[in-house]
Amino acid sequence: DAGITQSPRYKITETGRQVTLMCHQTWSHSYMFWYRQDLGHGLRLIYYSAAADITDKGEVPDGYVVSRSKTENFPLTLESATRSQTSVYFCASSGAHDYGYTFGSGTRLTVV
């Protein structure tokens, strides 16, 4: 399903570098989300957005920045990557308040 795509699929970066993970959806969904998935922690919400130019923090926002200038894009930036940010990152979108999410395929990020 190409409705929500994440890039890159895999990324290795060095500690202290800035890295941006991309998320693009073609459904014009209002809501978009970023989760990280770590063994033993399940999926934890980093940031979410209810519409273009509206974003808010989730459970684990520290060290991350998001923007949403267009409805279809929701990039996640790690301003200065740390090893603790090594994880699999999932973007998701939802068209309405009363429906579940559709997830992208994820980005596996390794910080060395």
Partner 1 sequence: GESVGLHLPTLSVQEGDNSIINCAYSNSASDYFIWYKQESGKGPQFIIDIRSNMDKRQGQRVTVLLNKTVKHLSLQIAATQPGDSAVYFCAERYNFNKFYFGSGTKLNVKP
Positions touching partner 1 (CB under 8 A) are: 31, 33, 35, 40-45, 48, 50, 58-59, 90, 92, 94, 97-98, 100-106
Please list the alpha-helical segments (H only) found in the chain. Answer: none
What is the closest distance, in whole angstroms, from the C-beta atom of residue 13 to partner 1 in the complex? 20
User: By the 8 A CB rule, do 32 and 93 touch?
Assistant: yes
What is the closest distance, in whole angstroms, from the C-beta atom of residue 15 to partner 1 in the complex? 26
User: By the 8 A CB rule, do 76 and 34 touch?
Assistant: yes
Closer residue to partner 1, CB minimum distance, 78 or 106 = 106
What is the closest distance, in whole angstroms, from the C-beta atom of residue 7 to partner 1 in the complex? 14
Three-class SS state of 57: strand
Closer residue to partner 1, CB minimum distance, 14 or 55 = 55
Closer residue to partner 1, CB minimum distance, 49 or 85 = 49
What tokens does 60 get?
A: 């684990």
Closer residue to partner 1, CB minimum distance, 35 or 74 = 35
Neighbour-count burial of 21, counting CB atoms closer than 10 A to its CB (0-12 exposed, 13-18 middle, 19+ buried)? buried
